[in-house]
Structure 1
Amino acid sequence: MRILIVTHVVRKNDGQGRVNYEIVQTALAAGHCVTLLAAEAAAELVEHPRVRFVRVATSRLPTRLVQYQMFALRCGAWIRAHRKEFDVVHVNGFIAWASSDVNAVHFVHDGWYRCGFYPFRFLRSFYHAYQVLYTWLNIACEKWSFRHTDVIVPVSQKVAGEVRALGIGGARVQVIHNGVDIDEFRPGASERAHFGLPEAPFVLLFAGDLRMSRKNLDTVLHALVQTSAEVHLAVAGILHNSPYPAVVESLGLSERVHFTDMVMDMPALMRSVDAFVFPSRYEPMGLVLLEALSAGLPVITVRTAGGAEVIGADSGIVLDDPDDAAALAAAIMRVAGDSGYARGLGERARDVARGLSWQAMAERYLTVYEQVHARRAAQALPRECATEAVKL
């Protein structure tokens, strides 16, 4: 097949970019030709003989809103000019003013806007008004994009529900969960000293953006107050402009919370802790949650976190309310207080992750491509036969 993938970035160290990177690698291994219409792509892909990289320049106009629209206009014009060259056109959400065959949906702005934890208010300030307008525009653009594609591929059932809430027919929706590197993220020897973590206590890990409340570190900290003093917390994320060190001090947790700042070797950090806590108030599909499962960690999460849907009662703990600190504390103590229970959760979590490898994810995308290609070929055949009959 001749495949066109339209995205901003295709590389390993980027969430959405990693998804597209793995799809490209698997498509190339299967003998297909891939064109990347993007702002940036990994060098090893660009150098491949069956990869064509078409760089889309990023606009220098002010505001992200205008920059994204310029990117979408440029991509749309290029797709319309070259559409006949491809068997499958794969876009990612709203990224181009052009129709597509496959739309991989990693985030739905309408779902974020209506989830109950959306932080911006139109009349609060100029910054808030801009953020609301940005969200509204994205909602409208995503609706248009979803209506102008053949197959919609949400990255979780949570995201699929948000797509359907926009009035998009369920028959066109095929969920493909994001993947995880099960070789990179695996159980192994602890390296606590390397991360400045104490050797003796039970250590939880929280990883995420420490500048926003959506990831919900505040509830984790309030839950930690209600647990045993032997339970510690490692916090991985950029500390600059984060309010949480001050919150930790105000709660009297300075001896039990260990900020690692940005961690480049997350697999090693996950091998150095005892459990993973992820009560995100809103998450389409958290890659870090899948990485924790693959590392064989007991995972404590909430239903509002995309990815929780892959966890069963034997592979993790899924709570109902992300803001219930007492319930979170009880779950933490259940895992921390029973090593056999924790070990069983971790072993089953690893089993779940094996079915969510990058290879398995990419092969599911290729199956969708093949279905689309076959359907397009079948639709073209009657037209070709009719043309031939006219010639006769």
Structure 2
Amino acid sequence: MKLCIVTHSVVKGDGQGRVNYEVTQEALARGHQVTLLASRVAPELQDNNLVNWIPISVKGLPTELFRNLLFAWRSSNWLQKHRSEIDLVKANGAITWAKGEVNAVHFVHSSWLKFTTQKTEDSSNNQRVNPRKIFYNFYQWFYTALNSNWEKKAFQEAQKVVAVSNKVGEDLLEIGVLPESIRVIANGVDLQEFTPGNCDRQKWNLPQEVPLALFAGDIRIKRKNLDTVLRALVKVPELHLAVAGVTEGSPYLDLAASLNLSQRVHFLGYRSDVPQLMKTADFLVFPSRYEPFGLVVIEAMATGIPVITASSTGAADLVKPEAGIVISDAEDVEALTEALQMLTSNPELRNKMGQAARTIAEQHSWKLMAQHYVDLFEEMEH
């Protein structure tokens, strides 16, 4: 089979990039030829004779919207000229204007737009608009709205639409994707990189001999929901929280200070050593307001620590009662407080849940995920 994957990156360093990296490796292992329309490709793939990398540069443009438009235009032009040389195209959302037989969905912008619009209406009477953020907020809304329309067209044209979680599958049904077109293939985890163990907290200047939770994600945006975590943390005075995420432009350092949490919340900035950092924590707390999957959840499970998350996080499907706690409403401070208290006060329960979490994670390796993708490609070829 001559497979073409259209994506911004095919590398191990990010979620969508890792998915496409593993799918490419599995396709190559089965003897298929792979064309990559991408801006970045891992060096080991560039050196493979079965890989044809078509670099698509989008450098120099000021915003993600313009970069994505240029990528879509350039990838579409190439596919228009070379479509007869390809057996199957795997796209990722609205990344290209060309038709893809398979479209892998890592984010449904219309669902996030619906959520944010509702939240804005609910809070409009209680909050002032910050004039400095008007343009930024409009840009974010405009970008999301455009993506919503482009995605619907891309999903309608695809023969199969792969959802990275059951939650994404439900989101796809809401925008009119036919049930028979949807295939759920959950994202995977590196079981060698994320393993149970212990690391000395001193490396990160974290306190010893205290219960420690971990939050990891983009703390410059509201979607990850660190604000609710901080408000719940106020009511669990013995618990400390390590926060991994870029602090520049984040409002949560000031929020933590205003809640008198500065001594218990440890902002670590961006971390490239999350697999080791996870080994310092007693559990992960990640009740994202909207998360199509949430790799950090399954990574924590693979590390052998329990997870507290919300049903609005796609990977919550993996968090069985024996492996963690799923609250039904990400905004419910009381429910989150209760979950934090339960794990903070019970080391034996944490150990049991951590063992169960690792067992579940072992059923979701990257290799197994990639096999499911390539099985689908081969099924469609026949």
TM-score range, shorter chain: over 0.9
Give 1:231's match in structure 2, choosing from 234, 239, 264.
239
Q: Call closer, same or farther: CA 1:139–1:54 in 2, change over 3 Å.
A: same
Q: What secondary structure, in the 3-state scheme, does the structure 2 residue paired with 1:261 have?
A: coil
**5 Å matches for 1:73-152?**
73-116=73-116, 125-152=134-161
1:329 corresponds to: 337
The one-letter code of the counterpart of 2:33 is C
**5 Å matches for 1:344-383?**
344-374=352-382
2:191 corresponds to: 182
What is the count of residue pairs matched by the alignment?
Answer: 373
1:173 aligns with 2:197: no
Coordinate RMSD, CA, aligned: 1.8
**5 Å matches for 1:190-205?**
190-205=199-214
User: How far is 1:120 from its partner?
Assistant: 7.1
Q: Call closer, same or farther: CA 1:120–1:24 in 2, change over 3 Å.
A: farther
1:18 corresponds to: 18
1:379 corresponds to: none
In structure 2, how many angstroms separate the alpha carbons of the residues matched to 1:218 and 1:64? 26
8 Å CA contact retained: 1:190, 1:273 = no
Cα offsets for 1:345-366 (capped at 9, x unmatched): 1111111111111001000001
1:264 aligns with 2:272: yes
In structure 1, how many angstroms separate the alpha carbons of the residues matched to 2:214 and 2:152? 37
User: How far is 1:50 from its partner?
Assistant: 0.9
State the percentage of identical aligned residues.
45
The two structures have a TM-score, normalised by structure 2, of: 0.94
In structure 2, the gaps of 5 or more residues are 122-128
1:293 corresponds to: 301
Q: What secondary structure, in the 3-state scheme, does the structure 1 residue paired with 2:159 have?
A: strand
User: How far is 1:233 from its partner?
Assistant: 0.7
The one-letter code of the counterpart of 2:141 is V
1:245 corresponds to: 253
Give 1:275's match in structure 2, choosing from 273, 278, 283.
283
User: How far is 1:17 from its partner?
Assistant: 0.5
1:28 corresponds to: 28
Q: Call closer, same or farther: CA 1:256–1:19 in 2, change over 3 Å.
A: same
The one-letter code of the counterpart of 1:43 is P
In structure 1, how many angstroms separate the alpha carbons of the residues matched to 2:117 and 2:258? 24
In structure 1, how many angstroms separate the alpha carbons of the residues matched to 2:251 and 2:303? 29
2:52 corresponds to: 52
The two structures have a TM-score, normalised by structure 1, of: 0.91
User: How far is 1:66 from its partner?
Assistant: 3.1
Cα offsets for 1:53-86 (capped at 9, x unmatched): 0011216455432332222122112112212212
Cα offsets for 1:274-297 (capped at 9, x unmatched): 000001111111111110111111
Moved more, 357-366 or 74-83: 74-83
The one-letter code of the counterpart of 2:140 is Q
Moved more, 29-38 or 112-121: 112-121
In structure 1, how many angstroms separate the alpha carbons of the residues matched to 2:266 and 2:174? 41
In structure 1, how many angstroms separate the alpha carbons of the residues matched to 2:93 and 2:335? 35
Q: What secondary structure, in the 3-state scheme, does the structure 1 residue paired with 2:183 have?
A: coil
In structure 2, how many angstroms separate the alpha carbons of the residues matched to 1:237 and 1:61? 25
Q: Call closer, same or farther: CA 1:61–1:236 in 2, change over 3 Å.
A: closer
Q: Call closer, same or farther: CA 1:41–1:252 in 2, change over 3 Å.
A: same
Q: What secondary structure, in the 3-state scheme, does the structure 2 residue paired with 1:222 have?
A: helix
1:217 aligns with 2:206: no
Give 2:163's match in structure 1, choosing from 154, 172, 175.
154
Q: Call closer, same or farther: CA 1:78–1:120 in 2, change over 3 Å.
A: farther
Higher Rg: 1
Q: Call closer, same or farther: CA 1:190–1:49 in 2, change over 3 Å.
A: same
